[in-house]
Structure 1
């Protein structure tokens, strides 16, 4: 029977993962509206200028990069993980109104809204995975984090189906054909904000910010089954943070000072950049443009995008049962090789078949190309989609976790910002031959993972440093605190409890309450 605390773990994890719906929705919004005739007319046909089209898309990435590198980490560390998610959601709501009600012919206002929404999501997407990693136990951490990418697909699903439904009523909706797609982005951040006050703050944040042991203990009691589990994890957190503050650094300086952290930062940079250069980032942003070379009908393209988003949810669900069963490394390798094959077959089909008089392909050829792009998503979603986020959120020590996760996750936007800026011109010049670039990238990513990444499956957050050549922060912190057993707290006997800046031994023999005070 599933315990009450385990169900609650899933609830708070899924609520936090809801922040990814914002990212998935917005990433799909522009792909949906850029082929919308009402949107084109409203802003004087910006699609005619390929560089301007790239700028509109990358404006989101610019805001997200600024937030991820300079705002997300400090917000989550100084105000708390919940505040980080809440502030990010609030900014997203404001930005949604800016985009939706941008005056006619004022494309600059729409672009400003996309920059603003990037800032909001950059803050929320930093706090969300950190909160999930710190609140869930190791045995289900990978499963819960899999929903992070699954919810990206949920956001994309909502955006594309709203767009498809709106496109069926153009005469009735008029300009609201595209505005309806934009305004629906209010839904999820409002739901998240309303629930955040009722979930616990991270116990690791309580210890890091003022050594608030009682608050951390109360937080852990809501998400762990037994008092022994609570005290063991509380001890592990205190040991790790004590070591980091006294031996390494309690500030972000450790990002550059600690060799093992530098190594992790570099590895995480590569896999997050690789996630976007695999082809998924470009396909999601410009799939409408790509499909236009195969299917001349806009309605057909809208339907394909909507079905793709639906399949994306189903494919991502595979990560829930595979990420903790087969491990992070195996999934990343298999995913990269599968995507490479798809990116080889798609251009071969397109280049070796004739083009019709309307500029598209024969229906069987179009179906074959769409099938291969769907198969690409099948390989991408549970591997480089979900697993990269899982890996990034769990490899950093407490003292730098928020800032490091924010920086690494925004390397996705750095890569996307650069590549998406010139992809429209790249695709216009090379056509489907551009897919050979993605094939090569995926082959290189498979080799990189095989040679460079250690496996982190079911490793406690406080012990993950050892995998990257660092010291065991839990055991070293236990030595500093003079703890007899660094891995297990002893209930009802001598234990060390930190008060403010002091470490003092305390004896407690109350077997009824079974607490360490």
Structure 2
């Protein structure tokens, strides 16, 4: 069946928003890559393991502040597009600060890390919300898969640049690490250029300004028929009317509404769990991990680059399975698969002899790399892509921006706590640390099996019913009809301040 031009345009605008994830993927790989540069180590006065952990923490502190305190208000008051643009501008400023930090000027570099975290905390909230609010429910999972895939695209770009720089280290000098950082400008500049070409969120237009015409115009650009546009407009209005009247139009509903509170708890666990699967540590410290196996920096850089390349391919698996089989089976299978990979890789590394140079034999090294690649095969379409999909689609409009920002930044809360001591953990225990990750993965699979409901192909306005809440569309029908009736009576002069006039309560009583 032929795909309509509007459906293709829907994919285009979603991919523009998904490009915000390239920022995250690139940055997560930047610091990992430059740790392998002797020039970077010398430029910043040979930082120890605790300092390395502190530099990672600087980023996550910025991301947590951005995600918890700024992302929701910016996305809700100024719009999803403004949120993405704000994040991109901060990333650009921070890139220059890190690239041109003065000699031994670690403080400037760390401030840049904080600022880039702040920018990404804002952009990574607005991006998935925008995709979820514009994408049709039947393909929402497929489109959101590209959100996670673009993380791998960011890593892909960064690690291949890093690999090229390691091959020309003597020629580049200190630019062997500065070149890796400066290329971080590429994607935010592209996003800023493309943002004016995409529509705003129809749900934001109605929620923030009650501007039905702008919402209608935005939907007409991405829906095939006028009937689809009008049906969606009505659903949005009904849901928002109910949320404002029966629950709360403010962020307080996150804690007041039992159903939303339940979703928040689940989302916090899933997002924290995503980083404790072991993937967060592999992203940040794969160079340090592979140094325990391989001797050459160029070999490690090549493995990182290949890892990012296969990450793109593995994430694409979710495109055809996430809406077919659902979110829940993917999360369970992914958790079990990752746990098994961690057990086997830890056993292979710890139970084989180490060579006099501190590395492992070539067959052992290849086996461990293969196992960690298989780990990525399980991770990318499940706890990589699906956690983002689930988080972006389960919250109602009244709290969506703030809730997604808080839930997604729980990833960085978990990282802040764990990555601060992981370098020391790795130095002291080596690959025995991987048994810890295995246990967490099995626990997460059990958690999903018993507590997480399936959300595939459920419209955003009707998803509340899955969590024991009211169906906001059905409930909103009565509220919206009531408001229209009152407005009609006011227009006809039937409702006034005169004694004996028909009141809102009278209308409600008649209904």
Tell me which interval the TM-score lies in, with the shorter structure as reference length: over 0.9
Distance 2:321 2:281 in 1: 26
CA offset at residue 131 of structure 1? 0.2
CA gap of 1:234–1:193, structure 2 versus 1, over 3 A, is same
| Alignment length (residue pairs) | 490
SS in 1 for 2:206: helix
Q: Does 1:327 align with 2:329?
A: no
**1:481–1:503 Cα contact (<8 Å) kept:** no
The residue aligned with 1:489 is: none
CA gap of 1:261–1:357, structure 2 versus 1, over 3 A, is same
Distance 2:474 2:175 in 1: 60
**2:205–2:214 Cα contact (<8 Å) kept:** yes
CA gap of 1:57–1:504, structure 2 versus 1, over 3 A, is farther
The residue aligned with 2:262 is: 263
SS in 1 for 2:305: helix
The residue aligned with 2:356 is: 357
**2:76–2:204 Cα contact (<8 Å) kept:** yes
The residue aligned with 1:487 is: none
Matches within 5 A, 1:282-301: 282-301=281-300
The residue aligned with 2:10 is: 9
Distance 2:303 2:474 in 1: 53
CA offset at residue 136 of structure 1? 0.4
CA offset at residue 170 of structure 1? 1.3
**1:142–1:320 Cα contact (<8 Å) kept:** yes
SS in 2 for 1:397: coil
Distance 1:168 1:298 in 2: 9
Matches within 5 A, 1:11-410: 11-46=12-47, 49-410=48-409
CA gap of 1:283–1:324, structure 2 versus 1, over 3 A, is same
Distance 1:93 1:228 in 2: 42
Distance 1:504 1:177 in 2: 72
CA offset at residue 504 of structure 1? 7.8
CA gap of 1:505–1:144, structure 2 versus 1, over 3 A, is farther
CA gap of 1:481–1:349, structure 2 versus 1, over 3 A, is same
Distance 2:235 2:22 in 1: 32
CA offset at residue 167 of structure 1? 1.1
CA gap of 1:329–1:505, structure 2 versus 1, over 3 A, is farther
Q: If the length of structure 1 is used for normalisation, what is the TM-score?
A: 0.93
Distance 1:321 1:479 in 2: 38
CA offset at residue 482 of structure 1? 2.1
**1:497–1:505 Cα contact (<8 Å) kept:** no
**2:149–2:315 Cα contact (<8 Å) kept:** yes
CA offset at residue 367 of structure 1? 0.3
SS in 2 for 1:28: helix
Deviations 1:498-517 (A, max 9, x none): 9xx957899xxxxxxxxxxx
Distance 1:366 1:372 in 2: 10
The residue aligned with 2:453 is: 454
Distance 2:49 2:272 in 1: 23
Distance 2:198 2:345 in 1: 46
Deviations 1:228-265 (A, max 9, x none): 00000000000000000011000001011000010000
The residue aligned with 2:496 is: none
Distance 2:368 2:144 in 1: 31
Richer in helix (by share): 2
Distance 2:209 2:362 in 1: 64
The residue aligned with 2:500 is: none
Distance 1:125 1:478 in 2: 33
Distance 1:415 1:361 in 2: 31
CA offset at residue 172 of structure 1? 1.6
Distance 2:480 2:407 in 1: 32
Distance 2:306 2:104 in 1: 32
Distance 1:261 1:235 in 2: 22
Runs of 4+ in 1 over 6 A off after TM superposition: 503-506
The residue aligned with 1:515 is: none
Distance 2:267 2:181 in 1: 32
Deviations 1:246-286 (A, max 9, x none): 11000001011000010000000000000000000001100
**2:166–2:297 Cα contact (<8 Å) kept:** no
SS in 2 for 1:324: helix
Distance 2:341 2:209 in 1: 51
CA offset at residue 198 of structure 1? 1.5
CA gap of 1:409–1:502, structure 2 versus 1, over 3 A, is farther
The residue aligned with 1:432 is: 431
Distance 1:194 1:220 in 2: 22
**1:329–1:453 Cα contact (<8 Å) kept:** yes
CA gap of 1:371–1:179, structure 2 versus 1, over 3 A, is same
Distance 2:344 2:169 in 1: 36
Q: RMSD between aligned alpha carbons?
A: 1.3
Unpaired runs of 5+ in structure 2?
Answer: 492-511
Distance 1:502 1:333 in 2: 50
